[in-house]
């Protein structure tokens, strides 16, 4: 273990870190607090921080109006399904790029990223027409497909950087021992890649969860996820900021819990293997 910092220094950095953390978190905290106020209090000056009349009426109103569970399940299915399928397609591809690179690998990677550069709104009408013709409008399958393809480049890229970190000599050794490629993949590579795969999975789950353009425009009710739920609370005629806060809190609650729970994987995932 390295040198022990002095208590005074620990105190200083602790206080500073907590202040910074609190400031960054504050808008979310404020939103959660607002969700427990009445509409009138939500807008009063000077603002009341904790000493207001706490109420859950906003949550009751939100639940009475929209089927939160239905939307939340759709969100889980769509975000989860698209992420899993993207992984199934991306793992072999990333493996191939990392361990059997061809001179074009780098170009292919960059090309894949470039497919994310089209602003979605520019291709809305073509996609809408295609979806109409295939009967995919307002279907979970359709949303899974669009989000899966949308995130595929990021998934491939993340996995590629993870796989590249795996020392090649281990594979060589396995090959010497006569392992086939299939066995090599299952018994040697996969265990080493699990942390990378898990973190990729989680990051893409979050990206798919927050995706608000395609989900809003290609679904109506049957397949509508939480982004549609939010769209029914933003800027109505009237004063509904406390209700909006309640709906927002509900919409981010599952992902916040999941995200906090899986923080460590996420930290690794986000680094893209930039850190050894």
Partner 1 sequence: MATEQTRGLGRILIAPAVIALFVWMIVPLVMTIYFSTLDYNLLNPGSESFVGLENYFYFLTDPAFLASLQNTLVLVGSVLAITVVVGTLVALLLDQAVIGRSIVRLMVIAPFFVMPTVSALVWKNLLMHPVSGLFAWIATSLGLRPIDWFAEAPLLAIILIVAWQWLPFATLILLTALQSLDEEQKEAAEMDGARAFSTFFHITLQHLARPITVVILIETIFLQTVFAEIYVTTGGGPGLQTTNIAFLIYSQALIQFDVGTASAGGLVAVVLANIVAFFLVRIVGRNLEA
Partner 2 sequence: MKHLVRALRGVAFLGVVFSGAASLMAASPSLAETTLTIATVNNADMIRMQGLTDDFTAKNPDISVKWVTLEENVLRQRVTTDIATKGGQFDVLTIGTYEVPIWAKQNWLVPLDNLGPDYDVSDLLPKIRDAVSVGGKLYAAPFYGESSMMMYRTDLFQKAGLTMPEQPTWDFVIDAAKKLTDKSSEVYGICLRGKAGWGENMAFLTAMANSYGARWFDEKWVPQFNSPEWKKTLTTYVDLMKQAGPPGASSNGFNENLALFNAGKCAMWIDATVAASFVTNPKDSRVADKVGFALAPNTGLGKNANWLWAWNLAIPAGSKKVDAAEKFIAWATGKSYTELVAAKEGWANVPPGTRTSLYQNPEYLKAAPFAKLTLASIDSADPNHPTVKPVPYVGVQYAAIPEFQGLGTTVGQDFSAALSGAMTVDAALAAAQSSTEREMKRAGYPK
Scan residues 120-179 and list those touching partner 1 (CB under 8 A).
Answer: 120-127, 129-130, 149, 152-154, 156, 164
Decide if residue 169 touches partner 2 (CB under 8 A).
no
Sign of torsion, CA 64 62 45 32?
positive
The residue within the footprint of partner 2, chosen from 47, 101, 221, 256 (CB under 8 A), is 221
How far apart, in whole angstroms, are the C-alpha atoms of residue 182 and residue 179?
Answer: 8
- What's the closest the beta carbon of residue 101 comes to partner 1, in angstroms? 7
How far apart, in whole angstroms, are the C-alpha atoms of residue 151 and residue 154?
Answer: 5
Residues 174 to 233 in contact with partner 1, rule: CB under 8 A:
181, 206, 209-210, 212-213, 226-227, 230-231
Listed ranges 47-55, 106-114, 161-169, 227-235: which one lies at the site for partner 2 (CB under 8 A)? 227-235
The residue within the footprint of partner 2, chosen from 58, 151, 199, 248 (CB under 8 A), is 199
Listed ranges 19-27, 100-108, 110-118, 193-201: which one lies at the site for partner 2 (CB under 8 A)? 193-201
- What's the closest the beta carbon of residue 152 comes to partner 1, in angstroms? 6
Within the chain, residue ranges assigned H as helices are: 7-34, 39-42, 57-65, 68-99, 105-114, 124-133, 140-165, 168-176, 181-183, 190-210, 214-218, 226-231, 241-261, 263-271
Hey, how many other C-beta atoms are within 10 angstroms of the C-beta on 204? 27
Radius of gyration of the chain (CA): 23
Residues 27 to 46 in contact with partner 1, rule: CB under 8 A:
27-28, 30-31, 34, 42-46
Residues 80 to 119 in contact with partner 2, rule: CB under 8 A:
80
How far apart, in whole angstroms, are the C-alpha atoms of residue 131 and residue 133?
Answer: 5
The residue within the footprint of partner 1, chosen from 62, 97, 136, 218 (CB under 8 A), is 97
- Residue that is written with structure tokens 């979310």 in the block: 28
Listed ranges 25-33, 91-99, 146-154, 189-197: which one lies at the site for partner 2 (CB under 8 A)? 189-197
Q: Residue 147 or 223: which CB sits closer to partner 1? A: 147
Per partner kind, with CB cut-offs from 5 to 8 A, the member of partner 2, partner 1, none near residue 169 is: none
Per-residue burial over 100-115, b = 16 or more CB atoms within 10 Å of its CB, e = otherwise: eeeeeeeeebeebeee
- What's the closest the beta carbon of residue 117 comes to partner 1, in angstroms? 4
What are 58's two structure tokens?
Answer: 């906003």
CA distances from 18 to 21, 29, 207 (A): 5, 14, 27
165: exposed, middle or buried (Cβ count in 10 Å: 0-12, 13-18, 19+): middle
Footprint on this chain of partner 2 (rule: CB under 8 A): 38-40, 43-45, 64-66, 69, 73, 76-77, 80, 124-125, 128-129, 132, 137-138, 191, 194-195, 197-199, 201-202, 205, 216-217, 220-221, 224, 228, 231-239, 241, 258, 261-262, 264-265, 268
């Amino acid at each position: 273990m390295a040198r022990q910092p002095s208590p005074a220094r620990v105190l200083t950095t602790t206080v500073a870190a907590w202040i910074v953390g609190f400031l960054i978190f504050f808008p979310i905290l404020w939103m959660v607090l607002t969700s427990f106020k009445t509409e009138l209090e939500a807008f009063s000056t000077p603002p009341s921080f904790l000493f207001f009349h706490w109420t859950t009426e906003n949550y009751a109103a939100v639940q009475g109006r929209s089927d939160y569970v239905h939307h939340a399940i759709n969100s889980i299915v769509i975000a989860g399904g698209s992420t899993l399928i993207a992984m199934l397609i991306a793992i072999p591809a990333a493996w191939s790029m990392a361990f059997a690179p061809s001179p074009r690998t780098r170009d292919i990677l960059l090309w894949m990223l470039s497919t994310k550069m089209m602003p979605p709104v520019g291709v809305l009408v073509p996609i809408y027409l295609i979806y109409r013709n295939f009967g995919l409008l307002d279907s979970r399958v359709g949303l899974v497909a669009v989000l899966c393809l949308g995130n595929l480049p990021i998934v491939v890229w993340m996995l590629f950087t993870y796989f590249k970190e795996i020392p090649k000599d281990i594979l060589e050794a396995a090959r010497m021992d006569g392992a086939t490629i299939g066995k090599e993949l299952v018994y040697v590579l996969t265990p080493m890649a699990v942390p990378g795969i898990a973190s990729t999975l989680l990051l893409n789950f979050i990206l798919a969860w927050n995706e608000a353009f395609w989900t809003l425009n290609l679904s109506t009710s049957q397949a509508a996820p939480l982004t549609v739920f939010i769209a029914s609370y933003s800027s109505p005629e009237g004063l509904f900021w406390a209700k909006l806060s309640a709906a927002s809190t509900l919409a981010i609650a599952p992902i916040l819990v999941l995200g906090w729970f899986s923080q460590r994987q996420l930290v690794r995932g986000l680094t893209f293997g930039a850190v050894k």
